[in-house]
Structure formats: C-alpha cells, structure tokens
C-alpha cells in the first residue's frame, strides 16, 4: 500500500471520531451557555438584585441558540470552501446589524399607513413584514458577499450568518420589552424561551435559502443578478416569514379560538423548520461549483486560488 493510500485510509478511519468530538463540543457549548444564562438570571439578577447585568442576561438569552448554530456552521466549512469563519463573522455582525436597521425603518414607515387591525396587530404591517425584512437581509447579503466567490453553498452560509445576526438583535429587543412589571425576570425569561429557541431557526433558514438562490444566480458570471429563481425564492421565504409571524393571529381572529390558533402556529413553525432544514442539508452537501473569477479580482487569490491545480506544460517531443 502506498503512502498516499495509507494516509487516505487513516483519514477515513478517524473521520467518525472527529465528527463525534465536534458534536460533543457543540453540546457542551450550548449547555455552558444555558448554565451562564440561568446563573445570571437566578443568582445575580434575582437573588443578588444586581440589575447591572440585565443587558448581559438579555444578550445571552437572545444569542445562545444563534451562537450554537454559528458554531455548527463554522465547523461545517470545508477546506475546499472559498469562505472563512471571518467572512461569516462579518456577515453576522455587520450584515445582521445593518439589515435590522434598515428593516426597522421600513417596518415603522409601513405601520404609519392607515390600516385596519386584527387582534391588535396592524394588518398591512403584519402582511408585509416578511417581504420587508427578507428584502433588507437580501440586500445585505449582496453587499457582504460582493467580493466572495459565488456558489450556492457559499450563499447558504452567508445568508444564514446574516439571518443569525438579525435574529440576535431582534430577539434582544423583544426580551428587553418584556423586562418590566412586578416580575420582569420571569416575564422576560418566557419571551427568551420562545423567541430565543424558535425565532433563530426561522431567520436562519429563510435567509440561508434566499442567500443560496442569490449566489446560485450569480455563479455563472460571478456577479449578482435577478432571475426567476431569486424572485421565486424571495416570495417563498417572505410568505413563510409572514405565516410564521401572523398565522396564529389570523386564525384566532377568524375563529375566535385561542387553542386552534396556537395549534396552527406550532404546526407552521414545525413545517417551516423541518422543510427548511431538509433543503439546507441538500444544498450544503453539494460539492461547491468551480468558482468563476477574474485573474485580477480579490477572489482570484486565497483558498479558492490555492485549490486550483495548474497543469504543467507538456514536454516537447524529441526531434
């Protein structure tokens, strides 16, 4: 057996062990975050009455699940991928922050339009929330991914990172709004349990699928462009987003039954998470397409350039 064959055999033999260690580390990462959040809430905030750590407690509650998903995403990057953990950090922090800033502005302007209310919620604002927020996240995906190599897999990761950053900031706002009243810790903890656990999956999946469509349309020529795939994916994720936010409210308004509304809402959440996760897995397991870049562009250097194999020139034939 050659040295190369021995190396390949040894690599395959240890691959399951590496995956097992990776899963174990993910579990400990999440469990450690839960312990920190509980300690801050029960000991520092409730028993010691130190309200100075309230922002930290809110941040940990909002960021725990997104940070765990981000941890998994970073460890899912391959050596053949042309993006790095730094690219994902930029997408999450800068992309998520600017997307939320723009979406908050447009959502507020939409709410100023005269419109009827259903169960205390503005109908037009609720119906357009998915379209507005997914448009803002898509715009930031284009900006942070402008100089990145365009493949569906890269778009999946960049879109997911933007959605993670967006979800953290939005969830912090909701948890902070509940941190009031006679028992603010209990009220905010309930909001953190609901939105902190569920909302990140929605934002991550919608943004990841939209990002995969954006980067897929740009893969052939190396630049972003509109296509029927991009438009169709945008409309689909916007509708899913709107249904996630307002399906329960709409059913309660139509039937007057809180139990039916809750059941519809939970069913919608489950279908969105499961369906989106299956599509994510399908795209993430595909081998990335060979990048198309200009020789002088920034994408022509780095991991993508190193992955290219340059064939040696053929030896001249003897005279």
pLDDT in tens, 269-290: 777 777 777 776 777 666 544 4
Token pair for 301: 């250097």
Mean pLDDT of the chain: 80
- Strands (DSSP E) contained in the chain are 117-118, 121-122
Confidence grade of residue 259 (pLDDT, cut at 50, 70, 90): confident
Give the phi and the psi of residue 183 in degrees, each rounded to 5.
-130, 75
The SS3 call for residue 113 is coil
Q: Over the Cα atoms of the chain, what is R_g?
A: 23
- Alpha-carbon gap, residue 123 to 128, rounded angstroms: 9
The string of DSSP codes covering 276-296 is HHHHHHHHHTSPPPPP---TT
Question: What confidence tens digit (pLDDT) does each residue in 111-129 have?
Answer: 888 888 776 778 788 888 8
Question: In sequence order, which residues have a C-beta less than 8 Å from that of residue 302 and are 6 or more positions away?
Answer: 82
The confidence score (pLDDT) of residue 111 equals 87
Burial status of residue 284 (CB atoms within 10 A of its CB: 0-12, 13-18, 19 or more): middle
The pTM of this model reads: 0.78
- Identify which has the larger pLDDT, 145 or 13: 145
Distance CA 214, CA 200 (A): 21
């Amino acid at each position: 057996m050659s040295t190369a064959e021995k190396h390949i055999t040894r690599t395959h033999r240890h691959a399951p062990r590496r995956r097992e260690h990776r899963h174990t580390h993910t579990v400990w990462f999440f469990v450690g975050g839960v312990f920190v959040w509980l300690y801050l809430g029960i000991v520092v905030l409730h028993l010691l009455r130190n309200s100075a750590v309230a922002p930290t407690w809110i941040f940990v509650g909002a960021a725990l699940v997104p940070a765990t998903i981000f941890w998994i995403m970073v460890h899912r990057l391959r050596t053949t991928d042309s993006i790095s953990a730094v690219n994902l950090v930029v997408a999450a922090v800068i992309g998520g922050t600017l997307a939320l800033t723009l979406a908050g502005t447009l959502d507020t302007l939409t709410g100023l339009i005269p419109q009827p209310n259903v169960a205390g919620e503005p109908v037009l604002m609720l119906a357009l929330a998915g379209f507005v927020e997914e448009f803002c996240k898509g715009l930031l995906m284009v900006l942070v991914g402008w100089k990145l190599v365009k493949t569906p897999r890269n778009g999946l990761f960049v879109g997911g990172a933007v959605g993670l950053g967006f979800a953290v900031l939005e969830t912090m706002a909701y948890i902070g709004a509940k941190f009031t009243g006679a028992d603010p810790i209990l009220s905010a903890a309930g909001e953190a349990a609901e939105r902190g656990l569920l909302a990140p999956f929605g934002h991550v999946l919608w943004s990841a699928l939209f990002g995969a469509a954006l980067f897929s349309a740009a893969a052939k020529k190396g630049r972003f462009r509109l296509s029927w795939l991009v438009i169709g994916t945008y409309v689909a994720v916007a509708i899913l987003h709107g249904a996630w936010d307002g399906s329960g409210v709409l059913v309660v308004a139509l039937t007057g039954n809180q139990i039916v509304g809750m059941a519809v809402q939970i069913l919608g959440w489950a279908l969105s998470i499961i369906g989106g996760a299956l599509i994510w897995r399908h795209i993430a397991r595909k081998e990335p397409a060979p990048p198309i870049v200009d020789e002088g562009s920034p994408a022509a250097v780095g991991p993508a350039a190193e992955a290219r194999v340059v064939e040696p020139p053929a030896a001249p034939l003897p005279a």
